[in-house]
């Protein structure tokens, strides 16, 4: 265990070092062998507000990608994405995406990042605004797909039958998505999403489709106790696995490694509320078997990373970095 302050997202930059964000605005690197932590300066115009601050971070080909709640003035903020060339002294970020419109809310920013080929996928929460997730002329409540330089892929939904959609939007109807990963086995993109009072889920990212929030409640209710809508109905994307009551799903990954060889190809789902790690063996929404690996041992789990060589598992949980390996 290595103590850190309010960690949110992380990414291996080599076999020994993990770069991570603290929601309060700091970017740091930890050497997993020496446990030494160093801070990297940066130029992000962030706003710490409720669930917002610095969010996910991703290292790829000597560049750093980060999602964060950007200060847009007058108390408003957006789930934004920035890119910088990697430098251990200072990261000079430039925005490559801003969710529009900016909103005065501290709720539901999302946000995870995943790279598939030349495309960057990102999850943008609906900021507590409910039906905004059904409005494809606004970014909140959607899956975003852009090129690594911030330009728009020519085969995004807007150009392939969804002309009213904003050009960056890939899928709509999302509430508060805090898990996103490209599977190294089938090359599909999977995600996890918070429901309200119940109705968390794990499912596949699907082009031009709609997960239904807030028409659907996914089995959950409003915090007031009033119903939201059906768990699912035809015309909307169906998740692979639902949790009712809520476990507060967080980061996910598809395991690939040698430390836990029997887990290869299985999804690992972390949670905040019940502080658990769950393993899903799945083929589709009709075939998903769940196993609780542990629960309530390391605190609220915010992120999960698999070591690129040995397959050991690292968690950001509570105010610490934790290691999971075979005993």
pLDDT band of residue 160 (cuts 50, 70, 90) is very high
Using pLDDT thresholds of 50, 70 and 90, give the confidence band for residue 179. very high
The pLDDT value recorded for residue 2 is 85
% the chain with pLDDT above 90: 94
**pLDDT one-digit tens code per residue, 45-73:** 999 999 999 999 999 999 999 999 999 99
Identify the pLDDT of residue 327.
75
Q: How confident is the model at residue 162 (pLDDT cuts 50, 70, 90)?
A: very high
Q: What is the pLDDT of residue 225?
A: 87
Task: Look at residue 39 in the predicted model and tell me its pLDDT.
Answer: 97
pLDDT per residue over 102-124, tens digit each? 999 999 999 999 999 999 999 99
List, in order, residues 6 or more apart from 14 with CB less than 8 Å away.
none
**Residue 156 buriedness (CB in 10 A; 0-12 / 13-18 / 19+):** buried
Query: What's CA 107's distance to the chain center, in Å?
Result: 15
Token pair in block for residue 158: 């807007």
Q: What is the 3-state secondary structure (H, E, C) of the chain?
A: CEECCCEEEEEECCCCEEEEEECCCEEEEEECCCCCEEEEEECCCECCCCCCCEEEEEEECCEEEEEEEEEEECCEEEEEEEEEECCCCEECCEEEEECCCCECCCCCCEEEEEEECCEEEEEECCCCCHHHHHCCCCCCCEEEEEECCCCCCCCCHHHCCCCCCCCCEEEECCCEEEEEEECCCCCCEEEEEECEEECEEEEECCCCCECCCCCCCCCCECCCCCECCCCCCCCCCCCCEEECCCCCEEEEEECCCCCCHHHCCCEEEEECCCCEEEEEEEEECCEEEEEEEEECCCCCEEEEEECCCCCCEEEEECCEEEEECCC
CB-CB neighbours of 213 under 10 Å: 27
Scanning the structure block, which residue is given the tokens 């395991």? 255
For CA atoms 48, 97, 11, 281, the dihedral sign is positive
At residue 284, does pLDDT exceed 80? no
Question: What six digits make up the tokens of 8?
Answer: 């949110």
- Per the document, the length of the chain is 327
> Span 22-51, mean pLDDT?
96
Report the alpha-carbon distance of residue 303 to residue 314 in Å, rounded. 8
How far apart are alpha carbons 258 and 111 in whole angstroms? 29
Domain segments of the chain as ranges: 2-324
With 80 as the cut, is the pLDDT of residue 283 above it?
no
CA distance 200 to 245: 8
Average pLDDT over residues 312-323: 95
What is the overall mean pLDDT for the chain?
96
For residues 153-169, give the mean pLDDT: 98
- Which CATH entry fits the domain spanning 2-324: 1.10.1380.10, 3.40.50.720, 2.120.10.30, 1.10.760.10? 2.120.10.30
Q: Residue 287 above 90 pLDDT?
A: no
Tokens of 41: 């300066």
- pLDDT tens digits along 71-106: 999 999 999 999 999 999 999 999 999 999 999 999
> Tokens 């015309």 label which residue?
235
Task: Tell me how far apart the alpha carbons of residues 128 and 246 are, in angstroms, rounded to a whole number.
Answer: 17
Beta bridge partners of 254: 267
The whole model's pTM is what?
0.97
Tens of pLDDT, residue by residue over 218-277, are: 999 998 888 999 999 999 999 999 999 999 999 999 999 999 999 999 999 999 999 999
pLDDT for 42 = 98
Contact 314, 295 (CB under 8 A): no
Dihedral of the alpha carbons of 175, 178, 184, 185, in degrees to the nearest 10: -50
Please tell me which residue, 112 or 288, carries the higher pLDDT value: 112
d(C-alpha 299, C-alpha 317), whole Å: 6
Residue 1: pLDDT band (50, 70, 90) is: confident
Of 143-147, 197-201, 253-257, minimum mean pLDDT range = 197-201
């Amino acid at each position: 265990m290595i103590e850190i302050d309010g960690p949110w997202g992380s990414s291996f930059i080599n076999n020994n070092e993990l770069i991570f964000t603290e929601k309060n605005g700091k970017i740091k690197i930890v050497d997993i062998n020496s446990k030494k932590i160093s801070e990297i300066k940066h130029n992000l115009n962030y706003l710490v507000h409720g669930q917002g601050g610095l969010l996910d971070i991703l290292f790829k080909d000597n560049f750093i990608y980060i999602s964060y709640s950007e200060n847009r003035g007058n108390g408003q903020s957006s789930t934004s994405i920035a890119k910088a060339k990697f430098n251990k002294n200072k990261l000079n970020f430039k925005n490559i995406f801003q969710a529009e419109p900016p909103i005065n809310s501290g709720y539901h920013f999302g946000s995870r990042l995943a790279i598939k080929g030349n495309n960057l996928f990102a999850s943008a929460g609906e900021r507590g605004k409910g039906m905004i997730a059904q409005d494809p002329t606004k970014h909140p409540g959607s899956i975003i797909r852009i090129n690594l330089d911030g330009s728009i892929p020519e085969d995004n939904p807007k150009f392939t039958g969804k002309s009213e959609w904003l050009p960056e939007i890939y899928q709509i109807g999302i509430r508060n998505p805090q898990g996103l990963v490209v599977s190294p086995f089938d090359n599909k993109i999977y995600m996890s999403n918070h429901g309200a009072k119940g109705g968390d889920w794990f499912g596949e990212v699907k082009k031009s489709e709609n997960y239904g929030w807030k028409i659907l409640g996914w089995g959950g209710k409003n915090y007031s106790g009033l119903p939201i809508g059906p768990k699912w109905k035809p015309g909307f994307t169906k998740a692979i696995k639902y949790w009712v009551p809520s476990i507060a799903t967080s980061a996910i990954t598809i395991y690939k490694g040698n430390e836990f060889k029997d887990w290869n190809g299985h999804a690992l789902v972390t949670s905040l509320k019940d502080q658990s790690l769950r393993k899903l063996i799945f083929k589709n929404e009709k075939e998903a078997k769940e196993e609780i690996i542990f629960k309530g041992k390391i605190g609220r789990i915010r992120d999960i990373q698999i070591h690129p060589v040995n397959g050991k598992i690292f968690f950001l949980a509570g105010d610490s970095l934790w290691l999971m390996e075979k005993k």
